[in-house]
Structure 1
Amino acid sequence: MSIALELAVQDPAGVRIAREIGAARVELTQALALGGLTPSPATVELAVEAAGGEVEVHVLVRPRAGGFRYDDDELAVTARDIRHMLDHGATGVVIGCQDDSGALDRDALVRLVDAAGGASVTLHRVIDVTPDPLAALRVARELGLRRVLTSGGASAAIDGLATLRELVREADGRIQVMAGSGVDASNAAEIAATGVDALHFSAKRAVSASGGVRMGSASDGVGGYEVTDRAAAIATVAALRP
């Protein structure tokens, strides 16, 4: 298989599934239903142990839900979290931020890349909500980021194929383009055919829990959560084989 695979996971069990399917790396996060937030240091440590040196652990560092325009306090948290995640064994980090115009916040990205101290840095799907994804790709490349994760400016990568092809051409092999969002067994091969360097998918399933007392404004009762589904992950990989 020539295309690299990245599995988005939230726990060590997901990392073990990533190893089983031959993924090159995981994006470790929590709260995937919110687009992902920074996981705890203990989660990072246990994920690195589960990876066993066979899978790279890249940690999403995102201080909150609700967009990517951050104030100085939020950027300070993000920069410190980046250092903590790398200190706890992460291979790299996944970041992104916008300025008031909606474009990438170049100064903030420089600050966060500096915090990574030479470790691998991926730009997350903030690129998909910028006014010009091609311009955002150029900024990421100029700042030395390793790759961008993108759905081609659409809610799902299967609907952004044309832009994904444009991004691959613009990247010109100098920064990796990784397609993600809604990637599964039904569409993985078609998305891979755009020429992207990697596919990012979560293969997740929901686990619901009911309770008579509401626990938070966004939950029904005690709320539910999501886990990596081994069968879905295996099926996605199988769909990429000739």
Structure 2
Amino acid sequence: MAGKRLVAGRHSVGQGLQRTSTSISPQLELAVEDASGVRLAASVGAARVELCAALAETDGITPSIGTIKQACQVGLPVHVLIRPRPGNFTYTGEEIEVLEHDVAAALDAGAAGVVVGILAADGGPDVAALRRISGLAREQHPSAEVTFHRAFDAALAAGVDPAEALARLEHTGVDRVLTSGGKPHCTAGLQMLIRLVEMGRTHAPSVQIMAGGGVRLGLVPALLKSGVHAVHSSARTQDPATGTRANAADPLLAASLAAALAAGGYE
């Protein structure tokens, strides 16, 4: 269900892929909370970061404008999470106004893109709200990228048809969707990720599929084989005794993820 591109500045699914002489590898996006996290991401060769606040406590909310400005000074593309509160992804009109203002502020502060997720009353992506936000972002910064975050997984878990969800995103102006295949983590959602890549070719050819959620180094070969366009991780280690996760990325794990992705490209 390929659609006419509705928003100026829309990017193709080829953007964000690392090309070598013989293959194309999904690039790594790291989830970070500050400028030091951006510097770590740059040092391991990540393509970009998703900048958020309170990742461990809330799964991420919008960071402060000061944090955004500092992060954008590092030099790596920064995509800012725009999520005004924890909880569900169905927002009131006033909350959507907050989202719009935060998108504008993040881009003015130097962000290369924004990460949003808005669901309609029926549980699927809210096309009207997303089109408005994408349009406002590109009016302000024509090259801005827009990612739809794991609200997509909430939609799948609620029973929304994945092909329909992708088809909606095709008409919103978003560049990519972050998803674990509708499951708590990518290992459990791997078969759906494979299906989403296949369905995306027909229903959302302009939308990249980015795998994220519980990505472990051992899963990289399967993600490469799935054909996803990008891989997202916080690269935080977990204490097996307590089940708690570290507050920042582990440099060795981040470097290993980046190296595995770069070394294992798909044809």
Match of 1:48 among 39, 53, 72: 72
Whole-angstrom CA distance in 2 between matches of 1:169 and 1:228? 31
Scaled by the length of structure 1, the TM-score of the pair is 0.86
1:20-31 to structure 2, matched below 5 A, reads 20-31=43-54
Determine which structure has greater relative contact order: mean sequence separation of CA pairs < 8 Å that are 6+ residues apart, divided by chain length. 2
- Per the alignment, residue 193 of structure 2 pairs with 164
Pairwise CA distance, 1:46: 0.8
Where do 5+ consecutive residues of structure 2 fail to align?
A: 1-17, 19-24, 240-244
The alignment status of 1:116 with 2:145, answered yes or no, reads no
> Cα offset for 1:238?
3.5
Q: Calculate percent identity across the aligned residue pairs.
A: 43
How big is the shift at 1:206? 7.4
Query: Is this contact kept in 2: 1:205–1:229, CA < 8 A?
Result: yes
User: What are the equivalent positions in structure 2 for 1:78-227 lying under 5 Å apart?
Assistant: 78-117=99-138, 118=142, 119-130=144-155, 131-172=160-201, 173-205=205-237, 226-227=247-248
Match for residue 64 of structure 1 among 85, 97, 117:
85
Runs of 4+, deviation exceeding 6 Å: none
Query: How much has 1:7 moved relative to structure 2?
Result: 0.5
Distance 1:205 1:166 in 2: 29
State the partner residue of 1:228.
249
Partner amino acid for 2:110?
Answer: G
Deviation at 1:132, TM superposition (A): 2.2
Q: Which amino acid aligns with 1:143?
A: T
One-letter amino acid matched to 1:47: A
Asked if the contact 1:62/1:78 (under 8 Å) is kept, the reply is yes
CA contact (8 A) 1:186 1:239 kept: no
Aligned residue for 1:84, secondary structure, equals helix
> What corresponds to 1:38 in structure 2?
62
Deviates more, 1:133-142 or 1:20-29: 133-142
Closer, same or farther in 2 for the Cα pair 1:91/1:70, shift >3 Å? same
Paired amino acid for 1:12: A
Q: Distance in 1 between matches of 2:81 and 2:136?
A: 14
Q: Deviations for 1:181-229, whole angstroms, at most 9, x for unmatched residues?
A: 011212122122200000000112579xxxxxxxxxxxxxxxx971122
What is the alpha-carbon distance in structure 1 between the residues aligned to residue 170 and residue 146 of structure 2?
11
* Alpha carbons 2:46, 2:258 under 8 Å: kept: no
